[in-house]
Amino acid sequence: MIHPSAVIHPRAEIGSDCEIGPFCVIGEHVTLGKGCKLHSHVVMDGHTRLGEANEIYPFASIGLKSQDLKWKGGITHTVIGDHNTFREYVTIHSATNDGGATTVGSHNNLLAYCHVAHDVKVGNRVVMSNVATLGGHVIVEDEVTIGGLAAVHQFCRIGKMAIIGGCSKLVQDVPPFMLADGTPAKTRSVNKIGMERRGMAEEVQSALRQAYKILFREGLTIPNALARMEKELPPFPEIKHLAEFVRTSERGLSR
């Protein structure tokens, strides 16, 4: 189902059962998996590959050249998984350096005007509310929620199942399972509602609450906080993931 006003390069690869609406433009090196739906006025270009059953709303722009002034040419990629929803005016840009890639996983929901910059890595089941913006090289792990108008600085990381408050300015990493808010953002508490909604066991939630207190309320250095966590908390996978995230932080934590 391709509208006659759509402009599709003859070498683009269009999967079965795709719907491409009026005035869409699809470039030469674009691949659409089966069952994708482009409503209208969608522009896709560059070396861009989408998986199956993605739904893209009007005026979204995917796979175009990075805005980074360091771009010197070459082949860069945009790789997107399955069952994503990209609402109106979403922009997802390709990587900056030859051979690099901007990646978005599966089952994500990006609301209107969201921006995913060059070399970003977005995991699975992420929700970005309206006008949320990710700077270059940002990493967003699985099941993160980013509030509307929030801005994430380049090279920051947001850990699994974290939530970022609306209008926040994020300039350092937010650990997994935490809630951050403010300008600049600070980690305020654990993501209690998120953990409950995902059915996390109460003993794991309790351990994460203790980890939050050690990391953010005891006035400890990061090495001392990690040592206390290792000594005092049960070795749940979630605690190990949190500790490893904190240990490998390069920008420091939002605290």
CA distance between the termini of the chain: 51
d(Cα 144, Cα 162) in Å, to the nearest integer? Answer: 5
Task: Provide the whole-model pTM.
Answer: 0.97
Q: Residue 118 catalytic?
A: yes
Which pLDDT value is given to residue 110? 98
Q: Which of 45, 68, 119, 173 is catalytic?
A: 119
Q: Which of 21, 33, 105, 136 is catalytic?
A: 136
pLDDT digits (tens, 9 = 90+) for 234-245: 999 999 999 999
Average pLDDT over residues 65-80: 96
Q: Which of 39, 41, 47, 118 is catalytic?
A: 118
With cut-offs at 50, 70 and 90, classify the pLDDT of residue 87. Answer: very high
Q: Residue 21 catalytic?
A: no
Give CATH for domain 196-247. Answer: 1.20.1180.10
Which pLDDT value is given to residue 142? 98
With cut-offs at 50, 70 and 90, classify the pLDDT of residue 55. Answer: very high
Give CATH for domain 7-137. Answer: 2.160.10.10
Q: Give the start-to-end residue ranges of the domains of the chain.
A: 7-137, 196-247
Q: Residue 68 catalytic?
A: no
d(Cα 42, Cα 133) in Å, to the nearest integer? Answer: 19
Burial degree of 144 (CB within 10 A; 0-12, 13-18, 19+)? buried
